[in-house]
Amino acid sequence: MDLRYTDEEEQFRTELRAWLESVLPDVGPTPDRSDWPARRAYDSRWQRTLHDAGYAGINWPRDYGGRGASPTEHLIFLEETERARAPYVGMNFVGLLHAGPTLVVEATPEQKEHHLPGILRGDHIWCQGFSEPSAGSDLASLRCRAVRDGDDYVVSGQKIWTSFAHVADYCEMLVRTDTDAPKHRGITWLIMPMDAPGIDVRPLRTMEGSTEFCEMYLDEVRIPVSNRVGNENDGWRVAMVTLSFERGTAFVSEMLDSMELCRELAELARKVTRRGGTAWDDLGLRRELGMLAAELDALWALTRRNISEATRTGLVGAGGNVFKLAYTDLRHRMGDLALRLLDRASLSLDDIGELPTGRHVQGRIHALSMSIAAGTSQVQKNIVAERLLGQPKERGWTSG
């Protein structure tokens, strides 16, 4: 394991930092989070800016328009963009981090030519139609049915928790094509154009007040067979290919933001009044904050270790699961501390007076979703128990 940056990597950092300084003044303010057309325009514009400067698809292979960056360069890219407060990947998330990398490995030359440039330029937004009401952690139980009819699949069923479905142009979707085969073997990976007739997208409002999630009702949606990625009934394997692209960098931006949040908690403690002084006067609270900061440092070291391992072996291993479990737990505790500091002000999602109530309350609520998305904490515990600690496999549980 080598956690040092090489001269070339530092050079990459310097160039990127200079570039960010030159372009960020023109980016403009972040749009209101409920203004979806403005958000789409903002995210697409930033992706186009990255693309034109050669920073789009930073870890994608060069042959497909990416930069071919190593996991460490990718880490530097995320560090620098977060440090400079550059826009986040936003609604290009699924295209750039899930669908695109999967197409790079599994798609036909025609599919690659048709879709990859649009993802890299930020022209096309993708969503992910995997989860269903009875298929989340146990994804392979999915029931959304696709029946072959000539050159089309006819798809009917329901998807849920589909982030950005209401703005997406395409959906990477898992459907059941064989109801008799064992559950992992009857699944197919399809590209669904979101303007196909028969798709009913219904936004869901979250506790945070946002409408990023949707339900999708599919009623005999015709999807050309030429939109199938991989073989029929081989979709589970194709879906797993996507996961193999994760090289330990998935939570880097979040981690850096959490470090900032921790500093903001200390500021907040100095502002809120308690019995004639401020919360900062409380030694126990300062100790708690110090502990959180130390845990964040430790998790940053674990991130670097995971990335070092990924650079060497190509895979993150169970270190990624340990990280996600510990990190989401830490965010819950940071959120709880923020709410205690805010006291009654924590009942508001908007800022109250001088206090940055909104960010902290939203951060607490957001922490709940972090321990569900991309594998719940319980599922992470199962994986750590089985793969790292050598415990017996849970009976009846088939996560693939």
Ligand X SMILES: Cc1cc2nc3c(=O)[nH]c(=O)nc-3n(C[C@H](O)[C@H](O)[C@H](O)COP(=O)(O)OP(=O)(O)OC[C@H]3O[C@@H](n4cnc5c(N)ncnc54)[C@H](O)[C@@H]3O)c2cc1C
Q: Which residues of 219-239 are buried (b: 16+ CB within 10 A; e: fewer)?
A: eebebeeebbbbebbbbbbbb
- Of 127 and 289, nearer to ligand X (C-beta) is 127
- Of 39 and 67, nearer to ligand X (C-beta) is 39
Among 123, 253, 376, 386, binds ligand X (CB under 6 A): 376
Which residues from 73-92 bind ligand X, rule CB under 6 A? none
Q: Minimum Å distance from CB 287 to ligand X? A: 31
- In 3D space, the residue among 379, 303, 295 whose CA is nearest the CA of residue 334 turns out to be 295
- Of 209 and 397, nearer to ligand X (C-beta) is 397
Report whether 56 contacts 134 (CB < 8 A). no
- In 3D space, the residue among 356, 291, 358 whose CA is nearest the CA of residue 329 turns out to be 291
Report whether 335 contacts 364 (CB < 8 A). yes
Q: Minimum Å distance from CB 110 to ligand X? A: 26
Say whether residue 253 binds ligand X (CB under 6 A): no
Among 372, 383, 385, 386, binds ligand X (CB under 6 A): 372
- Of 55 and 130, nearer to ligand X (C-beta) is 130
Q: Minimum Å distance from CB 161 to ligand X? A: 4
Say whether residue 369 binds ligand X (CB under 6 A): yes
At 220, the amino acid letter reads E
Q: Minimum Å distance from CB 289 to ligand X? A: 27
Among 231, 378, 391, 398, binds ligand X (CB under 6 A): 378
Residues binding ligand X: what is the number (CB under 6 A)? 19
* Residue 246 annotated in active site: yes
**Total length of the chain:** 400
- Of 6 and 134, nearer to ligand X (C-beta) is 134
Stretch that binds ligand X, among 82-90, 112-120, 161-169, 231-239 (CB under 6 A): 161-169
- Contact string 112-151 vs ligand X (x = CB under 6 A): ---------------xxxxx----xx--------------
- Of 23 and 326, nearer to ligand X (C-beta) is 326
- Of 65 and 230, nearer to ligand X (C-beta) is 230
Q: Write down the catalytic residue from 82, 212, 246, 295.
A: 246
Stretch that binds ligand X, among 22-30, 276-284, 325-333, 367-375 (CB under 6 A): 367-375
- Phi/psi at 189 (5° precision): -100, 120
Q: Minimum Å distance from CB 393 to ligand X? A: 10
- Of 129 and 320, nearer to ligand X (C-beta) is 129
Say whether residue 236 binds ligand X (CB under 6 A): no
CA distance linking residue 98 with residue 96, whole number of Å:
6
Residue 317: is it exposed, middle or buried by C-beta count within 10 angstroms (0-12/13-18/19+)?
middle
Q: Minimum Å distance from CB 387 to ligand X? A: 14
Which residues from 285-304 bind ligand X, rule CB under 6 A? none
Say whether residue 397 binds ligand X (CB under 6 A): yes
Measured at CB, which residue is nearest to ligand X?
136
Say whether residue 163 binds ligand X (CB under 6 A): yes
Residues that bind ligand X (CB under 6 A): 127-131, 136-137, 161-163, 369, 372-373, 376, 378-379, 382, 394, 397
Catalytic residues: 246
